[in-house]
Structures are given as C-alpha cells and as structure tokens.
Structure 1
Amino acid sequence: MRIGLVCPYSLTIPGGVQVQVLGLARELRKMGHEARVLGPCDGPPPEPFVTPLGNSLPTAANGSVVPLAPDPAAALRTIRAINDESFDVLHLHEPIAPGPTVTALLVRLAPMIGTFHAAGDIAWYGRLSKGVNWIADFLDARAAVSPQAKELAYRYLGGDYEVLFNGIENDLYFRDDSSRGATNAVFFCGRFEPRKGLAVLLEAFEKLADGTELWVASDGEGIDALKAKYAHDPRISWLGRITDAEKIDRLARCAVFCAPSLHSESFGIVVLEAMASGAPVVASALDGYKNVATDEVNALLVEPGDAVALSEALTRIIDDKQLATRLRLGGLERARELSMRHLAEIYVEIYHKVLERESVDPDHHPKSRIVRMFSDRVLRKPQFS
C-alpha cells in the first residue's frame, strides 16, 4: 500500500508529533508498505523517505511556539507532491493545523484519515474551526491520541473519533547493559516553555541531597534567566538541545526521569520514551500523562506545580532501589503495550476500511466532485502553442 503521512510541523525540529509521524512511517515500511512523510524541513530531511515542503515559520500555540508552514509555496509543494506520489491513502496528522494538512484536506487527492494530537487551548482551533469544519468532513476516518485530544477536536469539529494512543519504537530505546541507572542523576528533556515546569523542578532539586545531579536538556527563549538564577549550583548540567542518541543514552543512565509539566499535555510521549528506556519516572498528575502512567505502578505522579511533593517523589526513587526497580519493570511492560508495531497494525486496518469504502462509493463525500475539479485546475500543466 502506498501511504502518505502528512505532518504540519518541521520534521527537523524536535517535537512529539514529528516523532510519532516518523516512527509510524518506519514501522509501516518494516511491514512492507511504501510509506512516505511529507512535511516542512528547516535543513536536510531527517530520513530518506521524507519529502520536504519548504521551511517553517514559528507560530504560537498552546503555550508553545510550533514550526508550521502556512505559506502558499508550501501549499503548492504539498499538492504537487501528493499528486506525483499517487498515494493509495493519506494520513494527516493535526488535520486542521495551518499548512500542508489543511492543503491536503482541501484538494482531497486520495482517501484520508486524520489523527488529532493536540489538547488544551489551541488558538487555530478557535480561529479556523468555523471555516474549516466542513473541510474536516472530507476525512474518511478520524483518530485521536487520547481522550483529551478527542475532546478538543470534537468541541470544535464534531464527528466520530477512535481513541488510540501514541506508539513507541521499543527497539530504539531499550538497552540491557551495566550502565542502566548508573548515576544519581535526575533527567529533564524538552523544549523550554513555562508550561513544561522546569522552574518547579529546579526549585524541587534544591532540596535533594548533595550527591544528586540534574541534567537539563532544554533550550529556548527565557532559559538564560533560570541558568543565571541557579548558576551557584554545580550539580546542574545545562546540556542545551541534545541529539536523539544522547537522549537515549542519558535515559538509560539516569536514576530518574522527571516530567513536571503544569498543564496542556495530550499524551505523555516523553514519559513513554523514559519507560521504554527503563528509566523510573516522576511526572505531574495530568490527564495526558495518566494516559500512560499509573501512580505507584509504573511511575510516581505528583500534583502539578508542587515543588515539595516533587522533591519527595524524586528522593523516594533515588533512595529506594527496590521501588526504582519495580517502577522500571512496570514502565517497560507499559511500553510494550503501547508499541509502534501495535499502533501501525491498527492504522493499517483503518486504511483498508477507508479504501474499501472509497472503492464502493468514490463520491460518498458530497463535495468530492467539486474538490476534484479544483485539484485538476491547480495541477493542470500550462499548454503552449
């Protein structure tokens, strides 16, 4: 099956949706499908199966700055790429995010499934939903990565959604060697944004024993103020942005991974990555993280913003090796349940269903003929006499 996965975010900038799209494509290709990823790239494409659609523009959303490509040039590249590849099915991630996914919806050159990732308050949902909810009806199937993502999409777009999950490529993360948990380090990894809770973690870390380290793999506007505030503490290592390989290495070696976010987490992919690496986890008790983690089973969950509770949970894991081992084993089991292969198999079933429906009734969308006429005009090559 020829499958086109369309991502609205730059594939060369770290992000949870990008990780999911690239990981799903890799798994589909392992299963024998011809999967390609289309998306913006601010540099060389990260994989040979990526078709770049131009550079991105920083856009504010949900307390983050996300790298979108809403410009006309990217739209034209999207249409041409989809037409040239002749995909059997298109899989749009964040279907109404400005840029390539909305373009793909507009031209509808193949049957489409949309996966909704976001939760919380997303600016473009409010601004665009009234104008694009009719376009969202072109989706042949809708999925959401969590109940919270489903709630946001349904609030603005209506429709039916199958709640799935984010998958993890376990073979990339698990490392069974003597370096596992070989340090007393707490590890934080993620973009620097206030909602990610790094300031709370730093406050909690001040209360930890002298022999404990903190690895901060983060960069972004505003982080210099925190560096200056805690410059007196030599236990803190400010790593900046790190490669995936270094992240995986540090996940294996840390004593505990901490995800102290304050709000607006749709699905705890960073928590799942830590679990797959065998790192014990302390995380905020957010609904998004609870989709992955269960308190005292495969993680310790604390109230968001509570530095005292966070410090106590971190200390428990560092001091109690039996607890750390129990949480590690529980996390590995949870990661196996949420494997990328399992997720890919579910999506393939959905692809087959939409293709079967399309073969029976290619005009089952009321506006399909109009959209095809529009697409033909955009793709028509100029004729010269």
Structure 2
Amino acid sequence: MVCPYSFDVPGGVQFHVRDLAEHFIAEGHEVSVLAPADEGTPLPDYVQGTGGAIPVRYNGSVARLAFGPVTARRVGRWIERGNFDVVHIHEPVTPSTSLLALWAVEGPVVATFHTSNLRSRAMQASYPVLRPSLEKINGRIAVSEDARRTVTTHLGGDAVVIPNGVYVARFAEAPVRPEWQGTPEAPTIAFLGRIDEPRKGLPVLSRALPLIQRAVPGVRVLVAGHGDVDAARERLSPESAAACTFLGGVSDADKASLLASVDLYLAPHTGGESFGIVLAEAMSAGAPVLASDLPAFVRVLDGGAAGATFRNEDAEDLARQAVRLLQDPAARADLAARGRKRADIFDWSVVAAQVMAVYETVTAGAPVVRPASEPASMWSRWTRGRGAEGAS
C-alpha cells in the first residue's frame, strides 16, 4: 500500500491505510506500506518511510507531501524489492509517493480515491499529463459516492464505492470516563477535529454555543484536537470559554472513551468531507450524532435515520437541534441505538473483505508487480507538463 500523506501527522487517509494494513496482517497477509515520514518518526514495522515531507495547502486543509527525484528513487527501490502481488495506491493523483508509485509500477494496481472536490482545477489541469498513468490502474475504489463523483467528473471512468472502515468493537467496548460523562443538569458535547482548520466547524459551534447555553446553562463542551487553544478561546465569550474543555490531541483509546462517555457528538464540518469516518466511530461508541447536512455525512447517517442533522454553517439551527436532543434523553437513546446498528456496515471485517475482492479480481491470472520499464520518462512528462503550464 502507498499513502501520499506523511505519517508524522495523524489524518483520515493515514488511519485508513494503517487500519486496513493491520487487518490484513492479522488475517495472515504480507503487507508493506510506503509513506512519507521524517527521519526518527516512530513507525510500525510494516511501514517504510520515504523521508521528510513539506506542507501544502489543498482542499481546505494542509497536506504533508513528498515529491522529487530522491523520493522517486526510494519508491522505485521499494517496488523492485517488494515482489508484490498487488500495489494499492491511495490518492494516486496526489503529487507525492502515490503518484510516483503509479509512474514506477507495472502489474496489478488498485487505487483508492478519498477526496471529494467536484471543482478541482488542479485535477482538471493535470488530467492530460496523468491520463497514461491512470490507464495502469486495474481496479478503482472510492470511499464514498462523493469521492466517486469526483473521479468520474475529473478523471473519467468509474469506481466501486467501498467506505472507510472502523474497528466497531473497539469503540463499542470502550470504557466510560466519569470526568467526560454528563448529568441531566450538565450534559456533555464532544467535538473532534483540528481546531485551527475552519472547515472542521469549530467557529460554527462557537457561534451556536451561547444559544445552547441559554436553554441548557450547565452544558459542557469537550474539544479534542490539535491546534492553537489560546486563539480558539479568544473567539469565545467568557461564559462559553468557561464551558469548554480543550483536551488537545487524544490517543485512539481516549477518543473511543470520549465518544462512549458524552451525551452528544457534534460534527459541524462545513465542507471538503468525502465520507466522515468520525461519525462512524461515534455511532460505534453509542454516541448520538448531530452533524451538518453535508451530502457525505447524510449518507453515512443513512439519510438522517441514524443521526440528526442541521443546516450547514447555520449556527442557529445547530443550537436548536442540539437543545432538542440535550433536553430529550429518550430521543438521544433512540438515535444512539439506530446509529450503533448502522455502524456495523463500516466494520473492517466487512470493508476489508470488499477490498480483498477487488484485489482478487485484478490479480487473477496476472503477473506479479514489477518496476516500470521507463519510469524516468514519466518524471520527464510531468516536468515538461508543468513547464508548459507555467509558460502559458
């Protein structure tokens, strides 16, 4: 498997690659993961780092990517030594280890597309250069219908939708933490996400919180995620700031316990989401979910049957829906039960079996993976294309 994003910084694609790899290893398969990582970064035995990455802004976030001739040589050596039956490239058009691996490989190739961005000028501009490489992909996977539409819109062809996976039992069996539990007078809300990234929706929650506090004065908000806490507090009124506890980055185990402990999980993301893995995690833990009505979120929540929604970026509607749920324990319990049942379709035992079926299809009667005969020509084609683009 190839991950384009650095393993130094946690992210949805990195977690997907890690969990899928570990599931297959537990089943007895031999798995090697290639990804950027700074020297000295602790990595699992199955991950090989390609060296440091640089931050690049893309799709409302910051991605850490590795690209260039040194990384390309490391990718080529990894493929040459691997003797792989299949190479599974995540985000194959991302200019990092993934695109370099696509250039460098011949043989059975599966690609997973995670991004949802129907107006990507970068994809539109790069398609003529990338088209010969994209033809090497034998099996295409999209993690959601939104990601599939991005593929069909910008890259042509189609992809089978296989969602992100969750270890449902790990969340369902997570111990409750008393300090994160609410009471009828002081219920707790959880928010998970990078607090410096506006599209994760913390500013929307900040605008809604005073309205929630008027109806539920004792409400507490537990914010888990990396970022500048002082800057986040400055955007809050003193009363709202007093109601918020910033936990910083939390471990996987603490995240599961947090979701298992709170009265409500809130996902006020404003865009750029192709799936919404944290919704599946919250449902697995038994937390009732309230999320913005992004199409990807609505699909994860089974059209709203497994979780409540509010109008995207509408702080007043968020507050109305949150107050309704916080004041109605029976409604929360019903929502949690339906969410927990829905979560089972995202369990890795289900998702990984679907991925393996794609592997089996593309490898049937095919030779093993080998290095491409002319990987350097692909590098030249890219650099010529970029130069021509700059000249125009």
Q: TM-score, normalised by structure 1?
A: 0.88
Partner residue in 1 for 2:12: 16
Count of residue correspondences: 365
**1:21 CA drift (Å):** 0.7
1:170 is aligned to 2:200: no
Q: 1:227 aligns with which of 224, 227, 233?
A: 233
Residues in 2 aligned to 1:302 and 1:295: alpha-carbon distance in whole angstroms? 12
Q: Percent identity?
A: 33
The reply on whether 1:187 has 2:184 as its aligned counterpart is no
2:209 to 196, 200, 205: 205
Quote the offset at 1:262 in angstroms. Answer: 1.3
Question: Counterparts of 1:254 and 1:123 in 2: how far apart (Å)?
Answer: 41
Which residue does 2:71 correspond to in 1? 74
Contact 2:298–2:304 at 8 Å: present in 1 too?
A: no
Rounded to whole Å, the distance in 2 between the matches of 1:244 and 1:124 is 34
SS of 2:259 mapped into structure 1: helix
The answer to whether the aligner puts 1:218 opposite 2:215 as a matched pair is no
Q: Is the 8 A contact 1:54 1:69 kept in 2?
A: yes
Q: Which one of 103, 107, 113 corresponds to residue 106 of structure 1?
A: 103
User: For the residues of structure 1 that align with 2:69 and 2:223, how far apart are their CA atoms?
Assistant: 38
Aligned residue type for 1:187: A
Give the unaligned 5+ runs of structure 1: 363-367, 379-385
Cα drift, residue 282 of structure 1: 0.5
2-side partners of 1:55 and 1:372: how far apart?
Answer: 25
Structure 2: gaps of 5 or more residues:
379-392
Q: Corresponding residue for 2:259?
A: 251
Corresponding residue for 1:277?
Answer: 285
For the 8 Å contact 1:12–1:46, the answer to whether it is kept is: no
Q: Is the 8 A contact 1:45 1:51 kept in 2?
A: no
Task: Return the letter of the residue paired with 1:182.
Answer: Q
The answer for the alignment partner of 2:84 in structure 1 is 87
Once the two structures are superposed, residues 261-288 of structure 1 have per-residue CA deviations (whole angstroms, 9 ceiling, x without a partner) of 1122100111111111111110011111
Partner-residue secondary structure (3-state), 1:206: helix
C-alpha spacing 1:344/1:178, structure 2 compared with 1 (3 Å): closer
Give the structure 1 partner of residue 126 of structure 2: 128
C-alpha separation between the residues in 2 aligned to 1:55 and 1:68? 8
CA-to-partner distance for each residue in 1:179-236, whole Å, 9 max, x for gaps? Answer: 5883221111112312221111111111222211111223347x64432122613111
Instruction: Summarize deviations over 1:74-104 as a string: whole Å, max 9, x none.
Output: 2221111122121110000101101111111
Conserved 8 A contact 1:296-1:327: no
Equivalent pair of 1:94/1:114 in contact (CA under 8 Å)? yes
Please tell me the residue identity of whatever aligns with 2:103. L
Which residue in the other structure is 2:327 paired with? 319
Any idea what the Cα deviations from partners look like across 1:276-332, whole Å, max 9, x if unmatched?
Answer: 111111001111112211355221111101111111211222221111111111111
Distance 1:307 1:28, change over 3 A: same
Cα distance in 2 between the residues matched to 1:189 and 1:348: 31
Say whether residues 1:158 and 2:156 are aligned partners. Answer: yes
- If asked which structure has higher relative contact order (CA below 8 Å, sep 6+), I would say 2
Deviant stretches of 4+, over 4 Å? 176-181, 375-378
Aligned twin of 2:372:
372
1:6 aligns with 2:13: no
Q: Report if the CA contact (8 A) 1:283-1:300 is conserved.
A: yes
Query: Partner of 2:388 in structure 1?
Result: none
The CA deviation string for residues 117-173 of structure 1, in whole angstroms up to 9 with x for no partner, is 100244542342221122111001111111111111122211231122111111322
Identify which of 40, 52, 57 aligns with 1:55: 52
Aligned-partner Cα distance in 1 for 2:121–2:5: 16
Deviations 1:106-127 (A, max 9, x none): 1114410001010024454234
Moved more, 179-188 or 337-346: 179-188
